[in-house]
Amino acid sequence: MSKFGGVSGWLRIPHKDKIVHFSFYFISTILGSFALREFSQKKISLNNAAVKMFLFSVVYGMIIEVLQYSITKDRHGDFYDFIANSIGAFCGLLLVKYFFSQRVSQK
């Protein structure tokens, strides 16, 4: 029985945790890019903010997986989680750079 009350009983998606990892890092890179730009009072371009958030997300994801592997007993670090995190962050970077930054620069 899963922690979520049997949801996995009727919803069988292979590697669904990787989809969650991808989604979290995808969204956090996008939102973090906008937040970083706003906190800098728009002194940083949206492209630079996106690159910084991408790098932060990849390093953060790596640190979390290493810590799970090395210091926890009930969790385990997973290289494929790190890959899903990094791909999600990279897709968030691409979305900000090629979709949002063009719209922001026009205004």
For the stretch 59-102, pLDDT in tens is 999 999 999 989 988 888 889 999 999 999 999 999 999 988 77
| Length in residues, the chain | 107
Residue 5 counted as domain residue: no
Residue 44 counted as domain residue: yes
Residue 3 counted as domain residue: no
Res 1: pLDDT = 43
Tokens of 94: 């691409």
Residues 6+ apart with CB under 8 A from 54: 29, 89, 90, 92, 93
Contact 50, 33 (CB under 8 A): yes
Residue 73 counted as domain residue: yes
Residue 2 counted as domain residue: no
Residue 4 counted as domain residue: no
Query: 95: domain range?
Result: 15-106
Residue 42 counted as domain residue: yes
Q: Which of 3-7, 9-13, 23-27, 43-47 has the lowest mean pLDDT?
A: 3-7
pTM of the complete model: 0.81
Residue 20 counted as domain residue: yes
For the stretch 28-53, pLDDT in tens is 999 999 999 999 998 999 999 999 99
